[in-house]
Amino acid sequence: MAFVTTIAVSAENPFFKPYTTPHQTIPFNEIKLEHFMPAFEEGMKQQNDEIKDIINNKKPPTFENTIVALEKSGSLLDKVTGVFYNLLSAETNDDLQKLAREVSPLTTEHSNGISLNEQLFERIKTVYGQHDKLNLDTEQQMLLKKTYDRFVNSGAGLSAKDKEKYRELSKELSQSTLMFGQNTLNETNKYSLLITDKNLLSGLPEDVLSVLASNAEKAGKKGWMLDLKATTYIPVMKFADNRDLRRELYIANATKAMNGGEFDNRENIRKIVNTRLEIAKLLGYTNYADYVLINRMAENKENVYKLLDDLLEAYRSSAENEVKEIQAFADKNGAYFKIQPWDWSYYSEKYKAERFAFDDEALKPYLELENVKKGVFGLATKLYGITFKKNPNIPVYHPEVDAYEVLDKNGRFLAVLYTDFHPRDGKSSGAWMSSFKDQWMDGKKDSRPHTTIVMNFTRATADKPALLTYSEFETFLHEFGHALHGMLTKCTYASLSGTSVYRDFVELPSQIMENWGPEKQFLDGFAVHYETGEKIPAELVRKIKDAENFNTGYLCLRQLSFGFLDMAWHTLTKSFDGDVISFEHQAMDKTQVLPVIHEVAMSPTFGHIFSGGYAAGYYGYKWAEVLDADAFSVFQQNGIFDKKTADSFRKNILEKGGTEHPMVLYKRFRGQEPAIDALLIRNGVKK
């Protein structure tokens, strides 16, 4: 999306008028950079006027005139915010990043102005004090509770002096987290390595070499241009025979944003954790984790550490044995060294190919992106009866993006789904689901959501279509699961709809989808060879299943290391001014089964906790694995396409959003609380 860079107030600002596009989708083709700031300013002004109307209402505070009125305020601001921050992640540029640095303190101050408004909070508190007498339904009770809790946790109950302190701290935090993400993207884009001797790239698949040659050509060079995007980095780690090359790329990736340059994130980390700690203490908590976890399924840090420690105990011996196996294999194949982190993927991949006769490259021809899309969309059709129809009349923010109308089994319009699959310089790394517009209801009017899934999959080459690795296929299923949560939601209030649930529950709808990946019944429906049309061989599917638990122990400990690191940063009780790298290594020490490389660290690019929403919440991925294994066991018992089970999951989980406590929803689907056993059995740790 090309933005006009001149800042000026446009007479035809598309944010200021109703969209005339299909389903009132965003007219990306009309939006220019110059439109954002006036829309932000007007959106904040309108919401402030709406807040004044609430607090100046002469009638006694009620659920409708206070809680619902607040919920419905800020529609223009929501409109522009939904566009701006999604583009900032998926299609950014220098001008948009500069504008983000200007907008961030303004919107933070605006948000603080609402949450710290004493008159508004008095009305909310009055309604909340009557909650047991108001005859509210379940969703209304949850909206009231979340509204009250949000204000309390945002400093509404503080003294005037402490409120000012909270304002300062929250603005500082907003700026620091924004800069953290921008630095990570800029550091990733800054790196390139030109290889002119093809022999140095021995082992890399031809389609990867084609991408690298294309990179070089775009840069006006001859040869093969390597970068740190996942579509380059992962294949090099897995397949490059040149150990020095693997080490060079590993070190470059693992020292991003910590090299002392303009994009160094270490000081941002100190600012972020110290500011979070100050906010937590200001609100009466010992540390930031205590502040966050009161609104999580885990409830407190003791429960988080119990989960992490229990999993560490269950999986550690498996991980240690896996390392011994890979080392023995490497020794047998001429390695004269102890396996290092840059060797792990390379020898693991070769060992997997030998032990299971499983080769990811042999699988890729059966995972052509267009076919995978049909398969993943078709899975939703089988489970929930929904269908997807591409609509070229819906504007998109980049030519590579597709927009789909999503229809229920009765033909009723459910949602718009945008898909964005390939890496670009303007796109952050990784994969995510988000929304341009949330779902809500007003009387009988059901305003449906506009959802987006964004990934960084391998591109097509001159002679091959986009062929996915199995990991990319799983990522698609994962993000699509989030999208289903967003699209199937059926709630009254936007702030409770879709994925607006506890952070340690939000990964259940995404991770459960990955369970269908290795199922033959599913793969048979779409996985055909892109050249011959041959259905994926049963033998290859069997190999996928056989290799399913390969290195499960190692991978579990890797995830646990991230969880322990997150908790270490957010259980600090004193201001941190130490060395980021040393702190990280100490936090992750008990999970390490490979040699520790002392000059590297992941904290400076750990966007989930420093620029995303997972601070004191990364453990949620492992908790969600417990949930998804337990939940999928019901499908396994009843049939993986069983309509009754799918209907129950849709009705009790996907449609409900955050309208009830997640444990209540889960037990309604499952009939009992989740147990760790299903995960241990699935991973082969327990019989």
- β-bridge mates for residue 419, sequence order: 402, 453
| Residue whose token pair is 């093969």 | 224
d(CA 466, CA 208): 11
3-state class (DSSP) for residue 233: helix
3-state secondary structure (DSSP) of residue 419: strand
Determine contact, residues 610/268, Cβ cutoff 8 Å: yes
What is the torsion angle, in degrees rounded to the nearest 10, for the CA atoms of residue 79, residue 81, residue 84 and residue 88?
-150
Residue 581 vs residues 178, 250, 568, 587: alpha-carbon distances, Å: 21, 16, 13, 10
Plot region of 566 (φ>0 → left; ψ -120 to 50 → alpha; else → beta): alpha
Nearest residue to 417 (alpha-carbon basis) of 377, 384, 457: 377
CA distance 267 to 272: 9
Q: How far apart are CA 151 and CA 20, in angstroms?
A: 36
Q: Is 21 left (phi over 0), alpha (psi -120 to 50) or beta?
A: beta
Give the end-to-end CA distance of the chain in Å, rounded to a whole number. Answer: 53
E strand or H helix at 437: strand 432-437
* 479 carries an active-site annotation: yes
Among 349, 479, 514, 584, which one carries the catalytic annotation? 479
- Asked if 666 and 627 count as a contact pair (C-beta separation under 8 A), the reply is yes
Euclidean distance between CA atoms 269 and 257, whole angstroms: 11
Give the whole-angstrom CA distance, residue 314 versus residue 622: 13
Of 491, 515, 483, 496, the C-alpha closest to 651 is 491
DSSP 8-state code for residue 219: T
Catalytic residues: 479
